[in-house]
Structure 1
Amino acid sequence: MRRPCPDLIRKLVVALLALLFVMPAVAQDRVDLSPRDLAVVRINIIDLLANEPRLPLPIKQRRDVLRTYYEEQSGELLWLNSARAGVMVSRLANATDDGLNPDDYPGQQLASLLAAAGETDKRSLAIIELYFSAAFLEYASDLKVGRFLPNKIDPNFFLAPRTIDEAAALAGVAKVADVETVLHAWEPQSAEYQALRKALDDYHALAVLGGWGTVPLGDTLKPGMTDPRIPALRARLAVTDGAAATAPGEPEFYDDVLVEAVKHFQARHGLDVDGVVGPASLVAMNVPIEDRIESIDFAMERWRWMPDDLGRQYIIVNIAGFELRRIADGEIKEKMAVVVGKPYSRTPVFSDAIRYLEFNPYWNVPAGLAAKEELPKLQSNPAAVAAAGFEALRGKDVYDVRQVDWAQVTPSRFPFQLRQKPGTNNALGRVKFMFPNSHDVYLHDTPSRSLFGRAERAFSHGCIRLSRPLELADQVLAAGGVDGWSNQRIDSVVASLKNTVVNLKTPLPVHITYLTAWVEADGVHFSSDIYGHDEKLLAALDGKSLAW
């Protein structure tokens, strides 16, 4: 086949793209071509991909997979002579339904190309076909695995980069007439993601209606009070939390029915559930609906970063929600409050698998923590440190901390491994759940029980403290295929204070994630962005970068 000169191709592409600016998009959803015309277009596609060095960038970036499909696999045309093209244009125009931004995709350009297709030649039709395939691949990838590599957005995300099988994606389009079916199959299929997508649709519909009004700032509102702001409070909660739009009695009286609506709102937003509308509750109520939609978008993006297969049984921890869940066969079997890392010692995001449990664990104090926090205590009152169960190790030798001259030890020269023996004061409590990792993060008990009564629970050095660890131990052992460990046996082992390791026969997947929006039976729940991860994702979407 005689190849056209590069200048001719360049002029062809320029002329075709110029149509984007001079021809309006029309209600055309397909281009009908004869079998002969289709064959000619296909020949042009193969020639363009094989020989043309100046293809438009979106096509050039995907040249190899497009060649694989159209040439090596003799794939049929996907968009010309098919209603798929119109459906694809519509899907891109409505990308907000997927938590994506329509401005990031060439929906309008594709609509214009489709409108111009009936007036152009076969070479240009070949480019139109390739443009549609390139746009589909970009959208399918963003929908399946996300728009960004997680660790490029935030160094605290340690999730394996994921890609899509682009050849399989194109082949999938060829097998069905409805491209919506293909795109739905490429979405994350987890129930959590699908619930967020439904919630996003509801919040978009609510936004069209105007969202919700604000509650004027002022003094704290308490049950039984009369205040002119009560009607605004009632109207606000009528939109999202089941409050009656109008009061049956005195409209400015804070009655018991409204208290229940306030408590429902507080529970959904990770606030103290006390029915008292103080500064934190007022701020949360006055967050505009656009910001809540953004939180749902971010949560959907982070679900795309997650592995496709979380496991038939698994544990998932939501750092931002301060909660652990155990899932089996798609059902929530356990929920419990957790304490996570402080903002300056953040719990990282990653996936692993629990491999063993350790009852009555030793706490091996991290070297940095021992030098910075424990050394001053050892220098001022070693007897108190010894009473708390600490001992010093140097190689295989174990030392009573009262016998060490700590005045000769400095943070930069700390030759000991400090550890705390099993006991009631042990920082890890009665049990830890181990999934050995480079972050030295795991799940464990804690003697500091009072912290679980707080709404915001970011107090640890990075590990995850459990509110009901022994109950979880029983469940994890069973899920891990370990027989013979009843609650009574666990209690007996714990009471012995003897360090005991129990290996799981089947490692149990554990996923540590960060979601500031999720869906429960009573509606969408939101949390504060304790680590600023949402801010980083927003900056990335705006084309910026935050290094902190």
Structure 2
Amino acid sequence: MRKSLVMLACVFGVGAVLPTAPPAFAQSSLFEVIFGQQQRGKRHRQRQIEKFRAQRATKPAPRVKAPSFYNYKPDAVKTVDLSPLAEIEVASAEPMVIPPIPQDEFERSLRHLEGHRIQALKEVGDALIEYYKANHAFVWVTDMKPNARAMAAMEELAAADMYGLSSDDYRVDVPGDDYDPTKTSERLREMIQFEVALSAKALRYVLDATRGRVDPNRLSGYHDFKRKEVDLVSALGNLAATSDAKVYLQGSNPGNDQFEALSAELAELRAADAEDHIEIAEGTFLKPGRSSPELKNIVAAIRKRGSDTLLVDHGITLMEYQADGGDLYTPELVSMVRAFQTESGLKPDGIVGKMTIGKLSGMTNETKIGKVILAMERLRWLPRDLGTRHVFINQPAYEATYMNNGKEGISMRAVVGKKSNQTSFFYDEIETVEYNPYWGVPRSIIVNEMLPKLRRDPSYLDRQGYELTDRRGRRVASRNIDWYSVGSKIPVDVRQPPGKRNALGELKIMFPNKHAIYMHDTPAKKLFSRDARAFSHGCVRLQDPRGMAAAVLGTSRDHIAQQIAKGRNMAEPVPGKIPVYVSYFTAWPGEDGTIGYYADMYDRDKHLNKAIKRTEQTRQAQS
């Protein structure tokens, strides 16, 4: 009994008044009260835990945001004060005479630049002052009038539209030949102001033709380029020394075959009289055996756009349709459509949908001209020489091509990023081919896609075979991590080991970059049969990764197969430097120079058009 009292003292606490010895039923009730309170406390704590968990479950999971498009700000046109040139001191034939006496027309004209201001890009203004401080001679004026060099330069500036630029940006007022010889001072004023105006516009042209009118990095976070630096002082010196200013200015544009093909296409499109567009009603979707009033337009488009071989092979079908017409999509017409889809690079399923209609309808000349101009602008962001050997990935074409000495070594279908996970536009150099690769899961995928699953099922990554390591490199299990406490900063690295389920397949081709983009194999082979292939998280999946690996390594497919067959993760360095261009061109020449046109899958044409328009408006407002 005394032992029980001690226990009760422990329950009620030291100094508590203990009850006198109760009868048996009273003692039983007391224990029920004590232990009942404990049970209620446990249930309360459990309810609190469940409530806390419920609150955490409803809390929105963090997200890693994708790059965005910016509100483009054009290069600023500045007011450039040329007064520093009026202050140039010219050595006198009589050193003791103060102030020195100007010795020729140019030196006498400089005083007329006092307070003279022009509108120019900052680089242009700085170059003008630096050049003329060091070179006291006219470039564009001889015998008090514009010279032949000036005429040639202005002819080229007026033809800027031929190269996807705007001639309005380079317009210069030319002084007349007639002037009063007795008013030499006024003529010198005209000549020096014409001189600096033409130099400013010529240097603007050199800048635009060399690096483009638009700074791509100001367009969006998906563009990654180091903007080209142009030595404008040297450029003006070269213009002063050249015997043909027109040719020199032309040479500021990219001189590669691709630019030449685009220039030729632009001229041809502008010279075309008739539209090359056949209207097929928006939303048309025609399956074999169905009927559509648009069938007549579909057949007319095939007649217009089909190859000679196709038209010969299906000549009877075309003649019969021309005689009978009708809206029924017969097997013979289906066969003809399949042939057209095959030669257009589409899946030959005989279904007339959006992609097939795009090929059938064609584009208006106006649309094509717009795409070619944008392609010429984008080409200026890339090196003038793309390299004897290089890999060119064109996202809108869903295609990756290895080029060797100007020839296609190998070309294949590619899968690129979804619109929500766009593949960036940049260039780099290929360094390694990795066999049986691990897939290091990007933070964006862990946060945006895996974290919600892990909050529901912490063992998800363990069951899927992923490996997790903490910041010290120690292996951890996903089931032991409180994923509700994890935000956008993931405390572990997650990777998928090599194997058949690995997202990168048998190999990846690395060109390390801050976007974590590379080329790789994939177990999802069915996606290559699609016409539109924007399905990845940003990396480039290759239809024939072994072929591309063999090309960049300069080896054979057998060699690649042997390395993969070893079954272990290993890397092989690529000999030499091979540039890779992860590009975005909605108009691009094929190997034969024929321009292919592609859909603006990421709406980047729209944003670039806006940027060019804002640039033109800024310049016109300041002219």
Contact 2:338 2:348 survives alignment (8 Å): no
Aligned: 1:540 with 2:605: no
Q: Secondary structure at the match of 1:528?
A: coil
Look up the match of 1:171.
237
Q: Alpha-carbon deviations, 1:26-72, whole Å to 9, x = none?
A: xxxxxxxxxxxxx9542245445xx6232222499734433444452
**Equivalence map 1:28-43=2 (5 Å):** 40-43=104-107
Mark the CA change 1:489 to 1:523 in structure 2 (over 3 Å): closer, same or farther.
closer
Aligned: 1:113 with 2:178: no
Q: Which stretch has the larger CA shift, 295-304 or 157-166?
A: 157-166
Q: Which stretch has the larger CA shift, 147-156 or 39-48?
A: 39-48
Look up the match of 2:225.
159
Mark the CA change 1:522 to 1:336 in structure 2 (over 3 Å): closer, same or farther.
same
Aligned: 1:99 with 2:175: no
Look up the match of 1:457.
533
Look up the match of 1:53.
115
Q: Which stretch has the larger CA shift, 96-105 or 464-473?
A: 96-105
Aligned: 1:333 with 2:409: yes
Look up the match of 2:281.
217
Q: Residue 420 of structure 1: CA displacement?
A: 0.6
Q: Residue 522 of structure 1: CA displacement?
A: 7.4
**Equivalence map 1:372-387=2 (5 Å):** 372-378=448-454, 385-386=461-462
Q: Residue 266 of structure 1: CA displacement?
A: 4.2
Q: Residue 304 of structure 1: CA displacement?
A: 0.4
Q: Alpha-carbon deviations, 1:137-196, whole Å to 9, x = none?
A: 111221111001111122211110113222232233334443331122111012111111
Structure 2: distance between partners of 1:68 and 1:408: 62
Look up the match of 1:20.
none
1:510 to 564, 580, 583: 580
Q: Secondary structure at the match of 2:434?
A: strand
Aligned: 1:499 with 2:499: no
Structure 1: distance between partners of 2:507 and 2:114: 64
Contact 2:430 2:577 survives alignment (8 Å): yes
Mark the CA change 1:298 to 1:360 in structure 2 (over 3 Å): closer, same or farther.
same
**Equivalence map 1:351-370=2 (5 Å):** 351-370=427-446
Structure 2: distance between partners of 1:57 and 1:387: 66
Look up the match of 1:33.
none
Q: Alpha-carbon deviations, 1:204-231, whole Å to 9, x = none?
A: 112xx03224324275567999987666
Q: Alpha-carbon deviations, 1:371-404, whole Å to 9, x = none?
A: 3322444455677744543122122222455x63
Q: Secondary structure at the match of 2:228?
A: coil
The one-letter code matched in structure 1 to 2:608 is L
Mark the CA change 1:259 to 1:449 in structure 2 (over 3 Å): closer, same or farther.
closer
The one-letter code matched in structure 2 to 1:55 is R
Q: Residue 249 of structure 1: CA displacement?
A: 5.8
Q: Which stretch has the larger CA shift, 443-452 or 390-399?
A: 390-399
The one-letter code matched in structure 2 to 1:493 is Q
Mark the CA change 1:496 to 1:406 in structure 2 (over 3 Å): closer, same or farther.
farther
**Equivalence map 1:146-545=2 (5 Å):** 146-206=212-272, 209-217=273-281, 219-220=284-285, 232=297, 250-251=321-322, 259=337, 262-263=340-341, 266-267=344-345, 272=347, 276-282=351-357, 285=361, 287-378=363-454, 385-386=461-462, 388-394=464-470, 395-401=472-478, 404=480, 410-411=486-487, 414-478=490-554, 486-520=556-590, 521=592, 523-543=594-614
Q: Secondary structure at the match of 1:156?
A: coil
Q: Secondary structure at the match of 1:509?
A: strand
Q: Residue 99 of structure 1: CA displacement?
A: 1.1
The one-letter code matched in structure 1 to 2:600 is D
Q: Residue 488 of structure 1: CA displacement?
A: 3.2
TM-score by length of structure 2 reads 0.70
Q: Residue 526 of structure 1: CA displacement?
A: 1.3
Structure 1: distance between partners of 2:241 and 2:306: 45
Q: Secondary structure at the match of 1:131?
A: helix
Contact 1:298 1:537 survives alignment (8 Å): yes
Give the number of equivalent residue pairs. 490
Q: Secondary structure at the match of 2:548?
A: helix
Q: Which stretch has the larger CA shift, 79-88 or 440-449?
A: 79-88
Contact 1:311 1:509 survives alignment (8 Å): yes
The one-letter code matched in structure 1 to 2:540 is I
Q: Which stretch has the larger CA shift, 130-139 or 383-392?
A: 383-392
Contact 1:41 1:122 survives alignment (8 Å): yes
The one-letter code matched in structure 1 to 2:603 is G
The one-letter code matched in structure 1 to 2:431 is R
Q: Secondary structure at the match of 2:322?
A: coil
Structure 1: distance between partners of 2:140 and 2:526: 61
Mark the CA change 1:371 to 1:278 in structure 2 (over 3 Å): closer, same or farther.
closer
Q: Alpha-carbon deviations, 1:62-93, whole Å to 9, x = none?
A: 34433444452455523555334344444333
Q: Alpha-carbon deviations, 1:90-142, whole Å to 9, x = none?
A: 43333321112233332xxx3x5244665771220221122222111111221
Mark the CA change 1:505 to 1:46 in structure 2 (over 3 Å): closer, same or farther.
farther
Q: Residue 426 of structure 1: CA displacement?
A: 0.6
Contact 2:390 2:403 survives alignment (8 Å): yes
Structure 1: distance between partners of 2:369 and 2:336: 25
Structure 2: distance between partners of 1:136 and 1:413: 51
Q: Secondary structure at the match of 1:62?
A: helix
Aligned: 1:132 with 2:198: yes
Contact 1:212 1:288 survives alignment (8 Å): yes
Look up the match of 2:6.
none
Structure 2: distance between partners of 1:257 and 1:180: 54
Structure 2: distance between partners of 1:238 and 1:122: 65
Q: Alpha-carbon deviations, 1:472-515, whole Å to 9, x = none?
A: 1122222xxxxxx6533432331232111222343422221111
Structure 2: distance between partners of 1:405 and 1:170: 65
Q: Which stretch has the larger CA shift, 387-396 or 289-298?
A: 387-396
Contact 2:429 2:580 survives alignment (8 Å): yes
The one-letter code matched in structure 2 to 1:282 is I
Contact 1:230 1:251 survives alignment (8 Å): no
TM-score by length of structure 1 reads 0.78
Structure 2 unaligned segments of length 5 or more: list them: 1-81, 84-102, 181-185, 326-331, 617-623
Mark the CA change 1:221 to 1:93 in structure 2 (over 3 Å): closer, same or farther.
farther
Q: Which stretch has the larger CA shift, 356-365 or 69-78?
A: 69-78
Structure 1: distance between partners of 2:494 and 2:561: 28
The one-letter code matched in structure 1 to 2:544 is R
Aligned: 1:77 with 2:77: no
Q: Residue 414 of structure 1: CA displacement?
A: 4.4
Mark the CA change 1:54 to 1:281 in structure 2 (over 3 Å): closer, same or farther.
same
Q: Secondary structure at the match of 1:320?
A: helix
Contact 2:335 2:350 survives alignment (8 Å): no
Structure 2: distance between partners of 1:399 and 1:59: 57
Look up the match of 2:22.
none
Q: Residue 234 of structure 1: CA displacement?
A: 6.1
Mark the CA change 1:182 to 1:226 in structure 2 (over 3 Å): closer, same or farther.
farther
Q: Alpha-carbon deviations, 1:351-390, whole Å to 9, x = none?
A: 2112222211111112332233224444556777445431
Q: CA RMSD in A?
A: 3.6
Structure 2: distance between partners of 1:260 and 1:78: 61
